[in-house]
Amino acid sequence: MVTKTKRKQPNSASEVAGSHLEVQSPDHALDRNPIVALDLDSVLSRQVNLSATERRIAALPGRRTVKKEWQAAWLLKAITLMDLTTLAGDDTPSNVERLCMKAMRPVRPDLLEAMGVAHMGLTVGAVCVYHAMVPTAVAALKGSGVPVAAVSTGFPSGLSPMAQRLEEIIASVEAGASEIDIVITRGHVLTGNWDALYDEVKAFRQACGEAHMKVILGTGELATLTNVARASQVSILAGADFIKTSTGKEPVNATLPVGLVMARIIRDHYEKTGYAVGLKPAGGIRTAKSALDWLVMVKEELGTEWLRPELFRFGASALLTDIERQLEHFVTGRYAAAHRQPMP
User: Is it the case that residue 312 has pLDDT exceeding 50?
Assistant: yes
Concerning whether 181 is annotated as a catalytic residue, the answer is: yes
Among 77, 83, 181, 202, the one annotated catalytic: 181
Cα 273 to Cα 34, 194, 215, 266, 276, distances in angstroms: 10, 21, 19, 11, 9
Choose among 70, 83, 69, 145: nearest CA to 296.
Answer: 70
Concerning whether 8 is annotated as a catalytic residue, the answer is: no
Domain 35-60+67-340: CATH architecture, name and number where available: Alpha-Beta Barrel (3.20)
By residue count, the chain amounts to: 344
Q: How do residues 70-116 score in pLDDT, each as one tens digit? A: 999 999 999 999 999 999 999 999 999 999 999 999 999 999 999 99
Cα 42 to Cα 154, 167, 233, 312, 343, distances in angstroms: 29, 32, 9, 25, 46
pTM score: 0.91
Supply the pLDDT for residue 335.
Answer: 82
The answer to whether the Cα torsion of 220, 221, 227, 229 is positive or negative is negative
Supply the pLDDT for residue 118.
Answer: 93
Domain positions in the chain are 35-60+67-340
Report the C-alpha gap between 335 and 327 in whole angstroms: 9
User: Long-range contacts of range 60-68, CB-CB < 8 Å, 24 or more positions apart?
Assistant: 60/256, 60/293, 60/296, 60/297, 60/300, 61/293, 63/296, 63/300, 64/296, 64/299, 64/300, 66/292, 66/296, 68/330
Please compute the mean of the pLDDT values over residues 126-142 and round it to a whole number: 98
Report the C-alpha gap between 129 and 267 in whole angstroms: 29
Supply the pLDDT for residue 112.
Answer: 95
Do the beta carbons of residue 125 and residue 77 sit within 8 Å?
A: no
Concerning whether 299 is annotated as a catalytic residue, the answer is: no
Residue partners of 161: CB distance under 8 A and separation at least 6: none
Do the beta carbons of residue 304 and residue 2 sit within 8 Å?
A: yes
Do the beta carbons of residue 246 and residue 273 sit within 8 Å?
A: no
Do the beta carbons of residue 203 and residue 166 sit within 8 Å?
A: yes
Among 77, 214, 244, 299, the one annotated catalytic: 244
Average pLDDT of the chain?
A: 91
Report the C-alpha gap between 165 and 100 in whole angstroms: 26
User: Is it the case that residue 168 has pLDDT exceeding 60?
Assistant: yes
SS3 for 187? Answer: helix
Among 280, 293, 299, 322, the one annotated catalytic: 280
Q: Tell me which of 8-22, 168-182, 186-200 is least confident.
A: 8-22
Q: What does 32-70 look like in DSSP terms, one character per residue?
A: PPPP----HHHHHT----HHHHHHHHHHHHHH----HHH
Parallel, antiparallel or unpaired: strands 212-216 and 179-183: parallel
